[in-house]
Amino acid sequence: MTPRTKRIVGKSLVVTIIAVVATFGLSFTARLALQMPIDWLSWVECTFIPILIGMPVSAYIFTQSETIQDSCDKLEKSHAALTEAHDRVSFVTSHDPMTGLLSRGGFMARMDRSRDEGECDTLLLIDPDHFSSINDRHGHSKGDEVLVRIAKALVYTTRPGDSVGRLGGEEFGVLLHGVRKEQAGTIAENIRRLIEGLPRVKGQQDGVKVTVSIGGAEIARDADTQDVLRTAGRCLFEAKQRGRNRVSFDYEASKLRIVTP
């Protein structure tokens, strides 16, 4: 006998016994009140009628109850599995598989959300120096190792509420929430120094020294996202032009505002 059957039979027996006792009590009380005789037929009626009626009815009810509960349990498990699958798909579509950072789409969505909320944030664009030569001299596997190291350094130097993403190729983005240009410059410099101080990546012939150039732009509340990216990109290009391994905030995002016709 399965546990499910045992539960149904046990509950049905309890209900049937209660029905028999209740029938005896009501029937005998009524007979005594009406001064009717209590004969053997009364005992048979009070015993078998509740059993013949109560046992099948209660068994049917409890069987349906168990069936409904099983269906609810299956639905709950299916919902949990569907939610888990949805979370996995959402993570995969919004995150870079190699570094675990936000993908470009996920990062841009964070930027749009931040702009809509009206916060004063700052965008940093980080790009490793001489990355193409690292791939050419030491292979793409070493280039991937450099990118993973940079990603870990960015996560380490930013706060839990900040957004860090890989925007494509070797370019990274950091969205510093509630941080203005002056404080963002200090954070960017800390990022640059941390990456510069990382141990060399073992190459085929010699170690690979990793440095990055960083361009930053403060995001005005009415700024267009693409304008902010272009401004930070110009600052990044300026840092490269000035010798690499440095931070540049030469362009102000506040100058790029949406002009209403």
88 and 163 share one domain: no
Q: What pLDDT score was predicted for residue 232?
A: 92
Give residue 87's domain range.
3-93
Do residues 170 and 212 lie in contact, with contact meaning Cβ atoms separated by under 8 Å? no
DSSP label at residue 242:
T
How do residues 53-68 score in pLDDT, each as one tens digit? 878 888 888 888 888 8
Instruction: Choose among 261, 256, 260: nearest CA to 220.
Output: 256
8 and 80 share one domain: yes
Element of type H or E holding 183: helix 181-196
The whole-angstrom separation of Cα 115 and Cα 106 is 14
177 and 237 share one domain: yes
122 and 48 share one domain: no
Lowest-pLDDT choice from 16-30, 137-151, 174-188, 236-250: 16-30
Decide if pLDDT at 210 tops 50.
yes
End residue of a domain, out of 45, 73, 93? 93
DSSP label at residue 216:
E
170 an active-site residue?
A: yes
Lowest-pLDDT choice from 88-97, 167-176, 183-192, 221-230: 88-97
Q: What pLDDT score was predicted for residue 212?
A: 96
Q: What is the average pLDDT across 252-256?
A: 43
Among the listed residues 170, 182, 218, 252, the single catalytic one is 170
End residue of a domain, out of 46, 64, 93? 93
Q: What sign for the dihedral angle of Cα 29, 32, 36, 40?
A: positive
How do residues 219-245 score in pLDDT, each as one tens digit? 877 788 888 899 999 999 999 998 999
CA triple 112-115-118, angle to 5 deg: 155
205 and 234 share one domain: yes
Tokens of 200: 């060399």
